[in-house]
Structure 1
Amino acid sequence: MEQFKRFKDEITRFMMMYKFALDSLETKIEILKEEFHFLHDYNPIEHTKSRLKTPESIINKIQRKRCDLSFPSIRQNIKDIAGLRITCSFVSDIYRINDMLRNQSDLKIVESKDYIQNPKPNGYQSLHLIVEVPVYMSDRQEQVCVEVQIRTIAMDFWASLEHKIFYKYNEAVPPRLLQELKGAADSAAALDKQMERLHNEISEIKEHNMEHEKTGSKRIIIRDQEFHIPAALLDLIDAGQGNV
């Protein structure tokens, strides 16, 4: 009975360590979202989703890898016990968030897989990072790995449906269906490019209009004709207001 209690405490402590790492990383992401909300007109982070593998899932994976069934072995061989998915609007946002995480002095990027520049054969796209997060326990500090997946809304939509379609599919998938799935991934990638182009064009128009508004106060319009107000006249107006 005492041995069972000791094992239960160990596995609870082990899982809590990953939960704390996930909580810490989510807090960092929330701070970035708040910063963009207050300082910029645009927030690159649409939403986040986190998950912890169950002990059963961890054991199954360590057995598939044919590794020792021990806590040190699990930590060394399974890097995605804790996972965080960040969904963005545009592809450029993915790399912006990647840079933000790399600039966090207490985080360490130990692995990076860019499935956007190099999609998987089935069409899957996403940026995967393995991030070491410091966790401060009551008696020690631990560096805990968290897998971070950063993808656009279109990438996430495709990946979620692909997983549902083939989840626990034990037979060989017909080539026709694989080809259609790859075509759908290509369509999602094309949509990402189109929406980013529209976003950039609208941003340019907005910036142009803002610049026009700044200079608009130095122009007057009479009978649909625009006249520039000379700087000397503006100085005279300012001087007159100063004498009032």
Structure 2
Amino acid sequence: MELKIGNEQDIHTWEQVTLVYHSALKQINTKIEIINDEFQQVHRYNPIEHIKARIKTSESIVKKLKRHGYESTIENMVKYVNDIAGIRVICSFTNDIYTIADIISNQSDIRIIAVKDYIMNPKASGYRSYHMVVTVPVYLSDRIIDTKVEIQIRTVAMDFWASLEHKIQYKFEGNAPTHINTELLECAHMVSELDARMLSLNNEILEIAEKIKNQKEE
């Protein structure tokens, strides 16, 4: 039986949404786990601290559509909401973020839809992370559906800040007092400095370890 090549516009029910996006999420999650396994085995290095995956709830999707002025239909869900399936990759250092992003980008069955680098260009709030929207083919019994997944890659420190900022903004329904937003921005600068110092320290440690290794081999 020949498989038909389709896209997300072929999804017509919420049951199909959950099936297809869960499948896409599993594929991306597995790909990232394999990358991490290879680094541990070949390079003796673990660039990924942990991975978080989730499917957006129907309530959250409806709220997002309404916020952008779209009617709450399945068609609009799959057309306009890029983060129905989302995966967050937490790394140790900022250079790991770009390494992981490059490896994902170079996989032949992944197509990059959009990239937003909030590390080089942080949001006004101080938010920092690397975002990719990609498509991955989901193989069903009678067709292949290219399905969008949003990938967020950030350090442990960035993730800590983003989680707390989200909780604080949720409590104030997005209208936190000015002094709290100012304090959050200050903390974001501190997180950025911490990441830079930790990366520098790690590089120094690696250099010292390499010198010791070379001395032993001489």
How many angstroms does 1:116 deviate by?
A: 0.4
Matched residue, 1:35: 38
Task: Give yes or no for the alignment of 1:109 onto 2:109.
Answer: no
Which of structures 1 and 2 has the larger relative contact order (alpha carbons within 8 angstroms, sep 6+)?
2
Task: Give yes or no for the alignment of 1:144 onto 2:135.
Answer: no
Question: Alignment partner of 1:49: what SS?
Answer: strand
Question: Alignment partner of 2:146: what SS?
Answer: strand
Q: Partner letter of residue 29 of structure 2?
A: E
- Where do 5+ consecutive residues of structure 1 fail to align? 1-8, 216-244
How many angstroms does 1:72 deviate by?
A: 2.4
* In 1: Cα distance, 2:174 partner to 2:167 partner: 15
How many angstroms does 1:168 deviate by?
A: 4.1
Q: Partner letter of residue 116 of structure 2?
A: K
Q: Partner letter of residue 57 of structure 1?
A: S
- Where do 5+ consecutive residues of structure 2 fail to align? 1-11
Question: Alignment partner of 1:133: what SS?
Answer: strand
Percent identity between the aligned chains? 47
Task: Give yes or no for the alignment of 1:71 onto 2:103.
Answer: no
Runs of 4+ residues over 3 Å off in structure 1: none
Which structure would you say has the larger Rg? 1
Aligned residues: 207
Supply the RMSD in Å over aligned alpha carbons.
Answer: 1.4
Q: Partner letter of residue 124 of structure 2?
A: P
Matched residue, 1:14: 17
Task: Give yes or no for the alignment of 1:154 onto 2:151.
Answer: no
TM-score after normalising by structure 2: 0.91
Output aligned runs, 1:130-209, within 5 Å. Answer: 130-170=133-173, 172-209=175-212
TM-score after normalising by structure 1: 0.82
Question: Alignment partner of 2:13: what SS?
Answer: helix
* In 1: Cα distance, 2:126 partner to 2:71 partner: 34
Task: Give yes or no for the alignment of 1:51 onto 2:54.
Answer: yes
Instruction: Assess if the C-alpha contact under 8 Å between 2:169 and 2:175 holds in 1.
Output: no
Question: Alignment partner of 1:144: what SS?
Answer: strand
